[in-house]
Amino acid sequence: MGQFNITSIKTSSNGVWQGDNPLDYAFPLLIVQTTLILVVSRFLAFLFKPLRQPKVIAEIVGGILLGPSAFGRNDTYMQRIFPSWSTPILESVASIGLLFFLFLVGLELDLNSIRRSGKRAFSIAVAGISLPFICGIGVAITLRKTVHGADKVGFAQFIVFMGVALSITAFPVLARILAELKLLTTRVGETAMAAAAFNDIAAWILLALAVALSGDSDNKTHKSPLVSIWVLLCGLAFVIFMMVVIRPAMKQVGRRCSHENDAVDEAYICLTLAGVMVSGFMTDLIGIHSIFGAFVFGLTIPKGNFAERLIERIEDFVSGLLLPLYFASSGLKTNVAKIHGGEAWGLLVLVVTTACAGKIIGTFAVAMICKIPARESLTLGVLMNTKGLVELIVLNIGKEKKVLNDEIFAILVLMALFTTFITTPTVMTIYKPARGAIAKTNRKLGDLSSSSKHDAHADPLRVLACVYGPGNVPSIISLIESTRSTKKSLLKLFIMHLVELTERSSSIILAQRARKNGFPFFNRANRGEWRDRLSGAFQTYSQLGRVSVRPTTAISSLSTMHEDICHVAEEKRVTMIVLLFHKQWRMEVDEDDSGKAHEVLENVGHGWRGVNQRVLKNAPCSVAVLVDRGYGNGSHTPGPNVSGAQRVCVMFFGGPDDREALKLGERMAEHPAVRVTVIRFVEKEGVNGINAVLLSPEASTTSEKSYSFSKAKINTKQEKELDENAMGEFHIKWDSMVGYIEKESSNVVEEVLSIGKSGDYDLIIVGKGRFPSISVAELAERQAEHAELGPIGDILTSSGNGVVSSVLMIQQHDVEDLSHAKGNDNAV
């Protein structure tokens, strides 16, 4: 392969029918290599998922398996799939991905939040860098004496590269691990993120120094020491130029592309992407690696709408396709066979032990001095020991500059793999934040002393409303406003923005927002810093509506999102959780068809339905699910002086859930801009003696398609008395202000649908009916479309029924019922 003329390589073949082998041509071979790398890395990521390992681990291991350590031992495979002439092509494509990835890292790193992080995080970061760096010098001296050929490299370059390799913390990988372990917004997580951000900046400065010192060890062994100084001075001038000239210019671009101006001009996107390339070229021209320029350019972009749009445009392509090529190419260069003999493996153990001990002991000692508890200090040490992405970049540059030979490179890659691999299991073993330790209390609307006679002593209604995005704001604000007593501010609203933690690293950019809002520690003081559109909307409402509003963000995978919701409900002693149904219906009018209206369905995904179901099962308080059909898009505005009143209907069949719905109707009746009507369905005379206990479960049906009734034994006579008492109290208080209709329940489905289709009401409130009345129990055989809403809620929500009103389904919290339900709830 040494005599192979790279200029003779053609880009594409003429095809197999003309006798060409596509693997002898650059582009078809690149496609095969890329596909193979992606398939292997995704398969390994799937295998490592139960171990909660970051994706970078799978990508590096995939590269090692495809390279000379495993499959590459077969010469035919290596010469066919990864011939030496294809390496520059694969690495060039991968380097474009790396360039844009480092731009994204700079984009996501918030310099202002680093400044605000304080002395504690700074001192932890300094200790986390300095002690491993000093240890790295000792290891470097040992390796130079032991490994053949290591002493051919300049002493200064080798020491700096080894120091950086041992002292680095991978900020993106750490953020992912913290989010997976739900530590992102705990005190440990916040400190680790801030310290890692400091560490990241220091690492790039040290790397720039290392590259400036190294040059190319083959060709420039006799270069003047002044060259390195010139490289560093030019690098410093570049950073100053970017911060003084380019940053203000990018701020101007950010303002033009803000939410107020809505549209982002394509020209700005293209110029920014070109700017990444130019910045990379400039630092390469100076003599520092091109990725340094891309990283610094990323720091100049202001955080906001423009940055988010940039991330949306390039992240999936870069992180999903190009970046795995880079880490796989690192693995392809790693030949584990080079580590042979007891001495070499001993050196690997020495490097791993030194790296772990230096980082953990240094961080632990300073954290203890900062009066952080021992367990949290140890956790911080382990977290700061995360390597991964940035480590690999440093090692590759070291190998490229010929500072690290094959054996040392393989030792350091395995060290990076091992230290990152052990982080998650070690942290899970030594530290787990207190969750669910608070004693459960029985919280429902009926517990509130909301009588108007005792307003001065009334307990505030605490509501936790969960939203997916700005589109949900009008309906939630309208619902909360309807439940607010206008006599005094008796409402505390906690808004939780639910964000799915995906494999996209930009979901970590929300960590900054979470830290600003302080989930689960709600922000009280810095209300002026609510930069999020969602928070801004609710801030405005709190000023208009005299409601205490506290926003927060939950970043979690959908499978564990309910834990965050229930935890905050527990912490904040919430009376009711408001969830949004996973489907939303909008009525749109056809302009060309004589004003005929039709339904438009928006579905946020089945995964969110699972979140709702798990919250309903585990909530420590009452839960309401809002099925939104344009509720709140009318003229209903905060405050008592409104022209158009909201029309609300409460359907009452009987049972705890219906009584909770009635209590909510009571609160709404207090609002002068809400007109409440109660429709009570009564049993036909002569029908009695049947109750929920006699419902028999059928093994053939599943809970997805059938309703879940509580099998707890209840006193039917007592339940009827409670229903009558609740209705009696309601009449005494609100008889003159509330409409009341009594219907005999002969055909429940038709009667309920006629009310829903009539358009007489903006919102219909129903109970879930876990202890069903006789008429509701008769619906047990009906196939459910949305079983979690209960029989009546499902009828009003099922598609194709022509219902135009929004629906609010309420499930009352009852400790006794929950304890029975865990073992006794059956689908019928």
Question: What does the pLDDT look like over 226-276, one tens digit per residue?
Answer: 777 888 889 899 999 999 999 999 988 888 776 555 556 788 889 999 999
Number of neighbouring beta carbons within 10 Å of residue 552: 24
pLDDT, one tens digit per residue, over 68-90 is: 888 888 888 888 898 888 888 99
Q: Which helix (H) or strand (E) holds 735?
A: none
Query: Which sign, positive or negative, has the C-alpha torsion 452, 455, 460, 466?
Result: positive
Closest CA to 785 of 797, 771, 767: 797
* Beta-bridge mates of residue 588: 598
Distance CA 372, CA 355 (A): 23
Amino acid (one-letter) located at 81: I
pLDDT confidence of 706, banded at 50, 70, 90? low
CA dihedral angle for residue 529, residue 535, residue 538, residue 540, rounded to 10 degrees:
40
The token pair at 224 is 């003047």
Distance CA 51, CA 726 (A): 52
pLDDT, one tens digit per residue, over 443-492 is: 777 666 444 444 445 567 888 999 876 667 778 888 888 887 655 556 78
Distance CA 658, CA 662 (A): 6
User: Within 13 Å of residue 718, how many CA atoms lie on the same side as its CB?
Assistant: 5
pLDDT, one tens digit per residue, over 161-192 is: 888 888 888 777 787 788 777 777 677 877 88
pLDDT reported for residue 241: 95
Number of neighbouring beta carbons within 10 Å of residue 36: 16
* Beta-bridge mates of residue 599: 587
Distance CA 763, CA 646 (A): 8
Average of per-residue pLDDT across 331-349: 85
CA angle 29, 390, 44 (to 5 degrees): 50
Please state whether beta strands 708-709 and 674-682 pair in parallel, antiparallel, or not at all (unpaired). unpaired
Check whether the bond before 433 is cis (ω within 30° of 0): no
Model confidence pTM above 0.75: no
pLDDT cut 90: percent of the chain above it: 12
Amino acid (one-letter) located at 469: G
The token pair at 772 is 């069903």
For the stretch 8-23, what's the b/e string if a residue is b when 16 or more beta carbons lie within 10 angstroms of its beta carbon?
A: eeeeebeeeeeeeeee
Residues ≥6 apart with Cβ < 8 Å to 118: 194
Residue 504 predicted with pLDDT over 70: no
Residue 641 predicted with pLDDT over 60: no
What is each CA distance from 413 to 160, 396, 409, 410, in whole angstroms? 17, 10, 6, 5
Contact yes or no for 693/714 (Cβ under 8 A): yes
pLDDT reported for residue 216: 52
Chain-centre distance of CA 422, in angstroms?
Answer: 23
3-state secondary structure of 743: strand
Query: Which sign, positive or negative, has the C-alpha torsion 393, 399, 401, 403?
Result: positive
Q: DSSP string spanning 206-264? A: HHHHHHHHHS-TTT-TT--HHHHHHHHHHHHHHHHHIIIIIHHHHHHHHHHTSTTT---
The token pair at 120 is 């504690």
Length of the chain: 828
Number of neighbouring beta carbons within 10 Å of residue 120: 17
Average of per-residue pLDDT across 794-800: 83
pLDDT reported for residue 450: 42
Number of neighbouring beta carbons within 10 Å of residue 225: 8
Contact yes or no for 766/810 (Cβ under 8 A): yes
Residues ≥6 apart with Cβ < 8 Å to 798: 785, 786
pLDDT reported for residue 703: 53
pLDDT, one tens digit per residue, over 99-128 is: 998 898 888 777 776 666 677 888 888 888
φ, ψ of residue 377 to 5 degrees: the values are -65, -45
Closest CA to 755 of 678, 684, 813, 692: 678
pLDDT confidence of 691, banded at 50, 70, 90? very low
Distance CA 708, CA 695 (A): 11
Distance CA 243, CA 240 (A): 5
